[in-house]
Structure 1
Amino acid sequence: MSLRRIGMSEEQKRKLLLIDDDTSLLVTLSDFLRFEGYDVVTAKSGEKGLEVLETVEPELIILDMSMPGMGGIGFLKHILDEKGKPLYPVLVLTARANMAEFFSDVEIDGFIAKPCDPQDLLMEVGRIIFLRRGDYGETTSTAGRKRRMILGESDPSIAEPMVAWFSQCSYLVEVCGKGPEVLESAIVNRPDVIVMNQVLEGLNGSAVADMLVVMPNTKLIPVVLYADDEIILKNSPVKSGVGGIVATVETTAADVVGKIVNAVFE
């Protein structure tokens, strides 16, 4: 399964702060996350991480616990508000088992064991960003309401698990099985995001995206295309000026959701 994210500029990439003293791991994970469309800033210590926060506002901090000097716990103490809650979402990297019990008094968004599978990290990063949008960086116009998504998919075996997952993430999902239905609904309802299979009856996904991007009322709607074959997307160019990324995943509904979690943006 392949995906293309439409209309993503450098400014729209989600910013992550990755803090780890292991240079090899820092390079490997940051390169992987950048390839997946994130803007990654790195720091090799808790002290350097605090310096980064003076000029950078990350949507998520990925934090190693075992570092010389300040360490992960020391870093966390510096970013707590008056209620003891971190000022940013935090995903903890740890080689220790049962690390969660050390944070009974601190609200941590997730834990992942080291060494970690990059795909597992990607899924966890996407999950946290989705679930914490209501607390971090949400605009007045979107706060307090469910976001609307149009899902262009004719196969119920793919659509149903995607609808279930995004519903858990506070999206109201409308499923459209044909390209013209996606186009009509987008014009009438102006959703927050459109996710669609490139192969749709009537109009394919890139044709729908081409039409939406030239209409004043729909040109700013984020669009994610996916397909069973990367070649399908590469042979289906969208209009000049519309950017995107292409990545390959396995053809399972769970993997489709995982990649879309990373690709969808406000």
Structure 2
Amino acid sequence: MASYLVTGSSRGIGHELVRQLAAQPASEVSTIFATSRSVNAPLQELAGQHPGRFILVPIDVTDRDSINKAVERVESIVGDKGLDVLINNAGVVEWGWLKDMSDLNDTFNVNVTGPHIMVQAFLPLLRKGSMKKIVNISSSVGSIAKQPVYRQVPAPSYKITKAALNMMTVLYAQELADEGFTVFCVSPGWLRTNDANAHADLSVGTGVEGVLGMVRNAGVEVNGKFLNIHVPGWENNPGFNQYDGKELPW
């Protein structure tokens, strides 16, 4: 039985992560801590469907006080068993061109500093857990090597911060390797999370299924790696994105 904490669970990828986790038998997923800045009706519905197992925890990843309070709440529930898996999913993206970029600091605080503070705060509980996994939700558009492919994607602050998140993942992977941790980042693909992404490659369910498969099955062999989900039939897609389950270039 494993316990999971997911940030940014009120919508999009985060909500689908906690929904799919809750659908797993309790023998595999014991407790889901669904965290977000505010609780909405879909989260409340899931909590009602899985009482005592699906726990709503307020967290603003830019607010250290809210994170510290969340640690106390989670610790009161898991006790000496600790927390098994932390999934840093909360993130923001602003659309525009480099010449107009004015949101870099705010985006950095959510996409990079937020996961850093989360790891720092929850590390004592993760050390007590049996799985010791930290998963950072990244994006292939954060790959420096692939920027010739994604040059026309107008999201400079998102690209910059995801590249920084990737580096931070490597640093934590190196720092915690001797303690048996597995720290990696994964790109869930271009997903149809809302109307603005209605023309994206994959459904959010497909992308999240790929992510959770990696979380469950990956061991220390993927520590410090930048992974791509695997979607059968998309391995050699002629478009921007291929989903082959392999490592993405930095």
TM-score (norm 2): 0.31
Task: Choose between structure 1 and 2: higher helix proportion.
Answer: 2
Larger Rg: 1
TM-score (norm 1): 0.29
Task: Choose between structure 1 and 2: higher strand proportion.
Answer: 1
